[in-house]
Amino acid sequence: MSKFSASAVGADDPIACTGPCCGVSRRGFLATFAAAGAATTLPTATFAQTTTPVKRRVIDVHHHYFPDVFKQSSAREGPLPPFVRDWSPQRMLEEMDKNNIEKSVLSLASVPVGWFRMTSDELRPIIRTCNEYAAKLVQDHKGRHGLFAYVSCKDVDGSLQEIAYAFDTLKADGIEMSTSFGDKWPGDPAFTPVFEELNRRKAIVYFHPLAPFCCGNLVPGVQDSWIEYPYDTGRAILSLLFNGTLAKFRDIRWIFSHSGGAIPYLSHRIDYQSRPLKNLKEVAPDGVLAEFRKLHYETANAASGPAIAGLLKLVPISQVMYGSDFPYVTSEYNLANLRANGLSATDMTAIEYGNAEKLIPGLKS
């Protein structure tokens, strides 16, 4: 079954991000840029019934864009859903305005796993084109977007070049990575130079899930986005934790999609069963649960009662931000789920925009 076979965006069972860029001339872009310069019961101490305002500020930190080059490479792995095929900047802004989304942080959806079989010379121009396209959107719609520029750790030298270009030229707010790179996960020691540079820059690093080489289309009739994506998010977090990346690079701010995927549910299991590890004090000086609590999480397609209850029993409200996963899931659906949880007005303000503004200074009004 194609991973794009869900029937409609915003239906009762919306799909999560899957693969899939409106082309922009590289020369034109650079010229323009240069010119511009627990069950469903939530923690009782945290929640109270409130009246939902008709209109309030929202910042979406999980919002996708689709340059032609990205659409083309994604289409090689399966048919694109209509909402990806027909995506445009105008439709994106219409969706934001319809749901009072003040700003969105642009990132790529699940990248085609075929990218990780490409040579560096093949992949680097694709990534550069996508990042430049998003930066042009940020510039063209001032005050509406931020940017997490994509890099592939599989190409360490290319990643270092793209990080410098993203921050120094494109003025990106952070870096986006995939939860895995075909057959490797982000804590692999080979990727240490990438995280050394990101730590030096005190960067934000946002992770978006996909299905690695091992685990795509495992069960007939079951889409990767339903089950595999949350578990690859968990693998990425554990890879970074138990390989010592989280402990070594304390100046990186980490964001994970979909309320942390499988981690809230499995957190105490992992904590208990990892206690015999000889290097535990080295990789988790204050314990595994403390490491999970230091990370940041966004709520795209994981804002229902069970998901939010689990997340908020693991981490403080300060670590949680709103995300939509547009266009795979609508903001209307995500916000309705989030606002049905009975969170206090203070906590809702923190999730809907306050925490994002604190973490990502470029989003401040």
Question: Residue 44 — pLDDT band, cuts 50, 70, 90?
Answer: very low
Question: Residue 301 — pLDDT band, cuts 50, 70, 90?
Answer: very high
What is the percentage of the chain residues whose pLDDT exceeds 90? 81
The first and second tokens of residue 156, run together, are: 């360490």
Q: Which amino acid is at 298?
A: E
CA–CA distance, 176 with 197 (Å, rounded to integer)? 14
CA distances from 135 to 41, 165, 172, 203, 277 (A): 41, 11, 7, 17, 44
Neighbours of 318 (CB within 10 A): 15
In the predicted structure, residue 102 carries a pLDDT above the cut 80: yes
Question: Residue 106 — pLDDT band, cuts 50, 70, 90?
Answer: very high
Residues 285-298 pLDDT 10s:
999 999 999 999 99
**Domain assignments of the chain as residue spans, ordered by start:** 52-360
Q: Which one is predicted more confidently, 27 or 80?
A: 80
- What's the confidence (pLDDT) of residue 54? 54
Q: Strand 174-178 vs strand 59-64: parallel, antiparallel, or unpaired?
A: unpaired
Closest CA to 327 of 60, 146, 1, 121: 60
CA 124 to chain CA centroid, nearest Å: 21
- What's the confidence (pLDDT) of residue 280? 98
CA–CA distance, 277 with 113 (Å, rounded to integer)? 33
Any idea which of 21-30, 249-258, 317-326, 343-352 has the lowest mean pLDDT? Answer: 21-30
Residues 229-263 pLDDT 10s:
999 999 999 999 999 999 999 999 999 999 999 99
Place of tokens 């949350």: 230
Q: Which one is predicted more confidently, 51 or 147?
A: 147
Any idea which of 76-90, 256-270, 271-285 has the lowest mean pLDDT? Answer: 76-90
Backbone angles phi, psi at 188, to 5 degrees: -55, 130
- What's the confidence (pLDDT) of residue 56? 84
HEC string for the chain: CCCCCCCCCCCCCCCCCCCCCCCCCHHHHHHHHHHHCCCCCCCCCCECCCCCCCCCCCEEEEEECCCHHHHHHHHCCCCCCHHHHCCCHHHHHHHHHHCCCCEEEEECCCCCHHHHHCCHHHHHHHHHHHHHHHHHHHHHCCCCEEEEEECCCCCHHHHHHHHHHHHHCCCCCEEEEECCCCCCCCCCHHHHHHHHHHHHCCCEEEEECCCCHHHCCCCCCCCHHHHHHHHHHHHHHHHHHHCCHHHHCCCCEEEECHHHCCHHHHHHHHHHHCCCCCCHHHHCCCCHHHHHHHCEEECCCCCCHHHHHHHHHHCCHHHEECCCCECCCCHHHHHHHHHCCCECHHHHHHHHHHHHHHHCHHHCC
Q: What is the mean pLDDT of residues 298-323?
A: 98
- What's the confidence (pLDDT) of residue 304? 95
Q: What is the mean pLDDT of residues 323-337?
A: 97
- What's the confidence (pLDDT) of residue 53? 47
- What's the confidence (pLDDT) of residue 64? 98
Backbone angles phi, psi at 185, to 5 degrees: -115, 160
Residues 107-123 pLDDT 10s:
999 999 999 999 999 99
What is the percentage of the chain residues whose pLDDT exceeds 70? 85
CA–CA distance, 177 with 338 (Å, rounded to integer)? 26
In the predicted structure, residue 5 carries a pLDDT above the cut 90: no
Please, are residues 66 and 107 in contact by the beta-carbon 8 Å criterion?
no
Q: Can you name the CATH fold of 52-360?
A: TIM Barrel (3.20.20)
CA distances from 98 to 89, 104, 210, 336 (A): 14, 13, 29, 14
In the predicted structure, residue 25 carries a pLDDT above the cut 90: no
pTM, full prediction = 0.85
Question: Residue 305 — pLDDT band, cuts 50, 70, 90?
Answer: very high
CA–CA distance, 201 with 304 (Å, rounded to integer)? 35
Residues 128-146 pLDDT 10s:
999 999 999 999 999 999 9
Residues 200-239 pLDDT 10s:
999 999 999 999 989 988 899 988 889 999 999 999 999 9
